[in-house]
Chains A and B, each alone.
Chain A
């Protein structure tokens, strides 16, 4: 049985919720699978992430999100988190007065915060006592967010563009984190624009204006993505071609 099943969900925004974002999207992720999600800007990747996490204002108008076979459509964020779903945000927020050590210790299960920092390429001696505030650079904050997700040992980690804002020399650290998730049996939904990140996934899907238009091996999906050819509607509806 898949760990996560997204079954034909419809979601829109605007005052009446009728500006379509996701239009009958279906997707599944097996336990321990790293699943890359590709798509151009504005196709609904982050919206899908918010729906899966249960953010306020993000409930499907139709369709089901199932985790371990149970419908989680109505669960709040923390209830989903306690089932083992968590998320690293594309632009993580800052917190005044909270040290990196404290942040990495929130509800974690005996995991060493220093080891998690090491995993994302940050020296524990330099970072554990720093605040998770605006003194951190964007790249540092993103790495700390990844370290915090590692510390939680989730069953499903949603990583929304974990590589954006990370310098070229440190991309390997992001790959190491994803590899670490895989070793621990954590399933990953990996939203990315980089082919070298996507290709470490077990499977990949391409999202195009609210629908999954292609799924399969990461290499094939990446090739399809780059070919700018939409097999579903030939570009008529999604304007992808």
Chain B
């Protein structure tokens, strides 16, 4: 079986749409380790990718005014037990363009794998980008994931991202996102992670509301069980008049797991407003009782609640 076939098989088993990668109308980039296995451009988007010593470097541009109707598929993975993959991405959405990116990161056999993503994103005036990243890890926990992201959102621009890692072991995760929102820009960062065994989850997300009337939401939903640990830091700065931000962190802790939350809000303009909420603890007693009154056992009720917040 070729490496592409192997990646596609893992992609399919992880719930990915293999047909999307074969569709001539859908742009995509598939990378295994440091090998670019396949890539496709469509009208309005330029994808320039090259292999590097331990990964790839890619520049993606969505041209001015182009609104991609179908999502761009990104498939990154390390199929071997050991290895390092560093993805360097430079993404630009030109003025009034819009695109959705679906990224699948697949590490089914990872015993000693390091996956680093260094991305710089520039959202132009009036442009909109949706970026959804889903990870599929194996059961060994020998993986280190380091996604770093620096985003600038221009006037009237919109940036939505969600990161999901709820299947398999997390291993060690260290998210570091930094977003600057311009005038009337909207930013939404969502992360959902389920840690098991001795997994270590660290999420640091920062939104700077730099432009007037900018809006920002940081939302984290994390569940940890066994001996896993989680530390969530949500930072929002309101620097301009009319800017509004909110940090919302919820963590469910089971067994001997430990969770911490650090919502950090700062307002540097009297006409800005930033709020936060954080809830950490075991599963809500009233939610449990309600589901048990529907006939679910305590274990089934916890499962439904945890799956719900990670959905």
Contacts and interface: CB of A to CB of B under 8 A. Distances in A.
Interface residues of A, number: 21
A95 B292 contact: no
A76 interface: yes
Contacts of A78: 292-293, 295-298, 301
Interface string A79-117: 001100011010011011110000000110000000000
A56 interface: yes
Contacts of A82: 295
Contacts of B289: 53, 55-56, 77
Contacts of B310: 97
Contact of A97 (B291, B293, B294, B309): B309
B88 to A, nearest CB: 34
B287 A93 contact: yes
A158 to B, nearest CB: 9
B304 A106 contact: yes
Contacts of A77: 289, 292-293
B5 interface: no
Contacts of A152: 294-295
A148 interface: yes
Contacts of A95: 287, 304-305, 308
B53 interface: no
A75 B139 CA distance: 37
Given A56-B289, A77-B289, A106-B304, A96 B311 contact: yes
Nearest to A107: B295
Contacts, number: 61
Interface in A145-169: 148, 152
B221 interface: yes
Contact of A106 (B294, B309, B311): B294
Interface in B264-305: 284-287, 289-298, 301, 304-305
Contacts of B250: 96
Nearest to A103: B294
Given A89-B290, A96-B221, A106 B308 contact: no
B307 interface: yes
A86 B294 CA distance: 7
Interface string A46-77: 00000001011000000000000000000011
A95 B252 CA distance: 13
A96 B307 CA distance: 9
Contacts of B286: 89, 93
B293 A81 contact: yes
Contact of B293 (A87, A96, A98): A87
A81 B305 contact: no
Given A86-B293, A107-B295, A97 B307 contact: yes
A56 B291 CA distance: 13
A89 B311 CA distance: 25
Task: Name the residue among A55, A56, A97, A152 with the largest chain B CB count within 10 angstroms.
Answer: A97
B193 to A, nearest CB: 14
Contacts of B287: 93, 95
A181 B306 CA distance: 32
Chain A CB within 10 A, most for which of B287, B291, B292? B292
B293 A106 contact: no
A93 to B, nearest CB: 5
A200 B230 CA distance: 53
B221 A106 contact: no
A86 B250 CA distance: 29
Nearest to B301: A78
B84 to A, nearest CB: 34
Interface in B2-23: none
A123 to B, nearest CB: 23
Nearest to A78: B292
A148 B294 CA distance: 8
Nearest to B307: A97
B294 A107 contact: yes
B307 A106 contact: no
A107 B300 CA distance: 11
Nearest to A93: B286
Contacts of A81: 292-295
A78 B299 CA distance: 11
Given A95-B305, A97-B307, A53 B293 contact: yes
Q: Which 8 A-B pairs have the closest CB atoms?
A: A97-B311, A97-B308, A77-B292, A81-B295, A107-B295, A78-B292, A98-B308, A93-B286
Interface of A: 53, 55-56, 76-78, 81-82, 86-87, 89, 92-93, 95-98, 106-107, 148, 152
5 contacts: A53-B293, A56-B285, A95-B304, A96-B308, A98-B308
Given A96-B221, A106-B294, 11 more contacts: A53-B289, A56-B285, A77-B289, A77-B293, A86-B294, A93-B284, A93-B286, A93-B287, A98-B311, A106-B291, A107-B296
